[in-house]
Amino acid sequence: MKITNRYTDAVMYEDDAPTIKETVESAVKSDANLRGANLRGADLRGAYLSGAYLSDADQKITLIGKRPLFSIGSIGSRSDYLYAYLTDHGVYVRTGCFLGTLEKFAAAVDEKHKDSIHGAEYRAAIEMIKIHAELWTPEDEVRDEQ
């Protein structure tokens, strides 16, 4: 299977795995850079993604725990999937073109969606993400903020 760039459709990673889930796992094991990958609609439930890197400015962020990925969809104004990642630097959220901390996502929701139905839906998702993080973040793997 192939993993392509969501903007250019260029092939970012390819192997002989029969499913996208196994291809993503293989890419993670190979330390492939999947920034900008088109994973829309990919069913990654049960995928082993521990150790995958997400980029944020100039620091490496590592997924941690037994359930580092939490997804909800379709949701919000774009009817898109929302992904929450448990990392050694806290919870990160990706939806649409947004990638940032859960705190920055909550602020962006308040600013952009206010009291709309999309704002209410996103705020409910934020609460679910907080509970997931509380249950599945291993304390010994979280780094102090720098």
3-class secondary-structure state, position 5:
strand
Peptide bond into 74 cis (omega under 30): yes
Q: Are residue 27 and residue 84 in the same domain, yes or no?
A: no
Structure tokens at 118: 């999309």
pLDDT, tens digit, 9 for 90 and up, residues 19-72: 888 888 888 778 777 777 777 777 777 777 766 655 544 456 788 988 999 999
Q: Note down the domain range covering 117.
A: 66-146
| DSSP reduced 3-state for 51 | coil
Distance CA 3, CA 12 (A): 6
At 56 the pLDDT is 44
Which tens digit of pLDDT belongs to each residue from 57-93?
445 678 898 899 999 989 988 899 999 999 988 999 9
**Amino acid identity, position 41:** G
Count structural domains, the chain: 2
DSSP code string of 69-124? EEEEEEETTTTEEEEEEEEBTEEEEEETTEEEEHHHHHHHHHHHHTTSHHHHHHHH
> Domain check: are 87 and 28 in the same one?
no
**pTM of the predicted model over 0.75:** no
38 and 75 together in one domain = no
Would you say residue 70 lies in a domain?
yes
Examine residue 140 and state whether it is found in any structural domain, yes or no: yes
What secondary structure letter does DSSP report for 10?
-
pLDDT(122) > 70:
yes
Same domain, 34 and 87: no
Of 116, 124, 72, residue with least CA distance to 94: 72
How many Å apart are CA 47 and CA 49, to the nearest integer?
Answer: 6
